[in-house]
Structure 1
Amino acid sequence: MLSPLAVAQQSNDNDARIAPQIDQSEVIPAKLDTENFVVALRGGALAIEDFGTSGLAALQLSYHINEDFYVSAEYALAKAGLTSYERLSGAAPLLTDDERQWHYYGAELGYVLLPGQVYLGSDYALNTGWSLFAGAGNVDFAGDKVFAVKFGSQFRLYLSDWLAVDLVVADYVFETTILAESKTTHNLSMALGFAVYF
């Protein structure tokens, strides 16, 4: 029969044989940026219902509440073209040049649905974010100011920790009585631009 001392010695020998010899690596925490404000400038095209497609310019200021939600204020402008009636009939223009100016200003709430990465080769990757948003504001068009609802999606490609490229597809929905009857119009837009974090 083994003595308690021998049993303890044997237990220590077993522990020594199975103990892993792993060097501890030093963990360095990531230095995350804390910029929550974003200024974005975009250019693109807006299809104003009944008035064709025209150039669009938009300026947006956003605040990221957290990594998922953000709020934005936007100002956008475009100029409407001729209606099909004006082109085909040769009649007098329905609107003056000033009335063809299209302006939108409003606010929206966005949710980053799919954060991710885009890989350029096997060794280089860029962060991305795809979000959905909805908001409301006013449209100043054809001598009238009307309430508008805006919704759409945004894809953002981060070139650095302070600069990103984004693509926005949106629909501005509002009531109009320009053609003698009240109707809801859908005005689709697509714009590409840069966003600066600060």
Structure 2
Amino acid sequence: MHSIQIRNYVLGTLLACSGAYAFAAEPSQPSEQVVVPEVARRDIKLPRFPSSDFEIGTFVGTYSTQNFGASAVGGLRLGYHVTEDFFVEGVVAQTKVSDASYRQVLPGGVFPSETETLSYYNLSVGYNILPGEVFIGSKHAKPFSLYVIGGVGSTQINDQRKATFNFGSGMRVYLSDRWALQIDARDHIFSLDLLGKNQSTQNLELTVGITASF
């Protein structure tokens, strides 16, 4: 029993010495230095992409003034697309109104001169009801949208300025990312004092124009 204990003691001592020798013989690894790169800070300016929510355009067409007949009309429009469905539009335009038919039965006619200028402006809200594509020929398709529109404004004729309501519908055909063809039909409703009688008039307008988005 005593000899076994001595043997175990000797073996343990030899193992401990050999482990210490191996640890001492193992070469030490040099510590790696962490390199932190120095990056110069730069102020980055984000690019400004053009917006196509606004559009401006011109139009011509015909304006039929109740009791006075139709005449050519021209004007400008400025629009803003609030969403893909809703947009607002401001319009200014003018036309000529003739009382030649009245002068055949009434000496002096209705207006001080035979031809008077009718001008109007309005602000309207539109809603795109049917976006889609229209085919031009058999190979070319262009985006288009049908819309309904209505608003309020003012009409001036014969030194009278009258509040005006308008409503109608139209169509846009997008010829490119910037240009569009716009066809519009509108009814302008305002009261007019003629020969001492105030009456509500409905005045139909049909126009075609070009708009540019920006």
- Checking the alignment, whether the CA contact within 8 Å between 2:99 and 2:115 is kept in structure 1 is no
| 2:55 partner amino acid | V
| 2:69 partner amino acid | G
Name 2:128's counterpart in structure 1: 112
Structure 1 residue 144 corresponds to structure 2 residue 160:
yes
Q: Deviations over 1:62-111 (max 9, x none)?
A: 0000110000111010010125332x316213213497110101200000
Q: Deviations over 1:117-164 (max 9, x none)?
A: 011344320011110000001101111111000111111111001001
Q: Secondary structure at the match of 1:35?
A: coil
**Distance in structure 1 (CA, Å) of the matches to 2:115 and 2:99:** 12
1:113-132 equivalences in 2 (<5 Å): 113-132=129-148
- Checking the alignment, whether the CA contact within 8 Å between 1:99 and 1:143 is kept in structure 2 is no
**Distance in structure 2 (CA, Å) of the matches to 1:65 and 1:170:** 21
Q: Secondary structure at the match of 1:84?
A: helix
Structure 1 residue 46 corresponds to structure 2 residue 63:
yes
Q: Matched residue pairs, number?
A: 166
Q: Secondary structure at the match of 2:102?
A: helix
**CA displacement at 1:58 relative to structure 2:** 1.6
1:1-198 equivalences in 2 (<5 Å): 34-82=51-99, 84-86=101-103, 88-89=104-105, 91-97=107-113, 100-198=116-214
**CA displacement at 1:34 relative to structure 2:** 4.0
Name 1:9's counterpart in structure 2: none
**Distance in structure 2 (CA, Å) of the matches to 1:177 and 1:163:** 41
Q: Secondary structure at the match of 2:98?
A: coil
When residues 102 and 120 of structure 1 are mapped into structure 2, their CA distance, relative to the original with a 3 A threshold, is same
The higher radius of gyration belongs to: 2
Runs of 4+ deviating beyond 3 Å: none
Q: Secondary structure at the match of 1:160?
A: coil
When residues 122 and 55 of structure 1 are mapped into structure 2, their CA distance, relative to the original with a 3 A threshold, is closer
In the alignment, structure 2 segments of 5+ residues that lack a partner are 1-49
Give the % identical residues.
28
**Distance in structure 2 (CA, Å) of the matches to 1:89 and 1:98:** 13
**Distance in structure 2 (CA, Å) of the matches to 1:106 and 1:51:** 22
